[in-house]
Amino acid sequence: MSQSSVALPALRPRARRTLGGSLLVNELVTMFRRNRNLALLAALALIPVALGVAIKLSTHRGRNGGGFIAEVSNNGLFLVFAALSLTLPIFLPMALGVVSGDAISGEAAQGTLRYLLVAPAGRVRLLAVKGFSLVVFSLVSTAVVSAAALLTGLALFPGGQVTLLSGDSIGMGAALVKAVWITLLVAASLLGLAALGLFVSTLTDTPIAAMAVATGLTIAAGIMQAIPQLSAIQPWLYTYQWSSYADLLRDPVYLSNIEHNLLIQLGYVVVFASAAWARLTTRDVTS
């Protein structure tokens, strides 16, 4: 009798469902059914709503902010860009840091990791599924912010022509297309953090510790980016070009910063996904 056939009767419910069906589908369903993750997405959706209401009230009092916020009262679509600029430095990375830090360590803490590695779910396959699910969560969380901001902005403020940062004006349809591209770029900007969090989650059986490290490293990177004396290493930080999405609001589009951002994220994904693979494939999960 094989080892897997002995272990299967003792599998926990989630592990039995995983081995009996699609590992990827099960992972995505579990991710988006988890109350903690749903609460994170709900909190992200509330941020642009609160921001829109605050701008609406401040406009009535004759006060305006700067940057994208100053443009929201003239065109509700700018609430999408304002909300992304507000959530990208802190809230989106925090949500992704929590989910990515829990990816492997959460399974280890629950005692399901060794069962998930029973055939046909091998270590490489499990890691690939976890990584892809983090890509999906990054896209969904960013889309939630954009969708909530768009609905709130159009409900509270006028629409019409959109004035770009370069001074040109485009129609609402073209501006919506740009909003979609910006949402995709912001989601892609978080992939370096996702890979880093996935690697950290292979190092410990304590999810809270992995979440704290993934989130703390992002805070540390932001602090390092603000210190002039560290200018030599700043271009290598995964947070360095997070604001490059604003270049999509120019005509012509500035591609250099966007390309730099995507290359940084790709580099982090390759390095830390490889490190996560090396750690997970040599890790003793039998005990």
Per residue in 49-86, pLDDT tens?
999 999 988 866 545 555 677 778 788 899 999 999 99
Rg (CA), the chain: 21
Which domain range does residue 223 map to? 12-282
Contact 100, 134 (CB under 8 A): yes
pTM score above 0.75 = yes
Two tokens at 184? 């995709």
pLDDT at residue 186 tops 50: yes
Two tokens at 141? 């969380």
- In a domain, residue 246? The reply is yes
pLDDT at residue 166 tops 90: no
- In a domain, residue 7? The reply is no
Query: What gap in Å lies between CA 100 and CA 135, rounded to an integer?
Result: 10
- In a domain, residue 4? The reply is no
| Number of structural domains found in the chain | 1
pLDDT at residue 19 tops 50: no
Q: Which pLDDT score, from 0 to 100, does residue 8 have?
A: 41
- In a domain, residue 247? The reply is yes
- In a domain, residue 287? The reply is no
- In a domain, residue 6? The reply is no
- In a domain, residue 5? The reply is no
Q: Distances in Å between the alpha carbon of 93 and those of 82, 88, 157, 179?
A: 16, 7, 28, 20
Query: What gap in Å lies between CA 211 and CA 193, rounded to an integer?
Result: 11
Q: Distances in Å between the alpha carbon of 32 and those of 35, 39, 211?
A: 8, 10, 18
Query: What gap in Å lies between CA 106 and CA 207, rounded to an integer?
Result: 5
Query: What gap in Å lies between CA 165 and CA 243, rounded to an integer?
Result: 14
| Strand ranges in the chain using DSSP code E only, listed in sequence order | 162-163, 169-170
Q: From the DSSP assignment, how many helices (H) and strands (E) are in the chain?
A: 14, 2
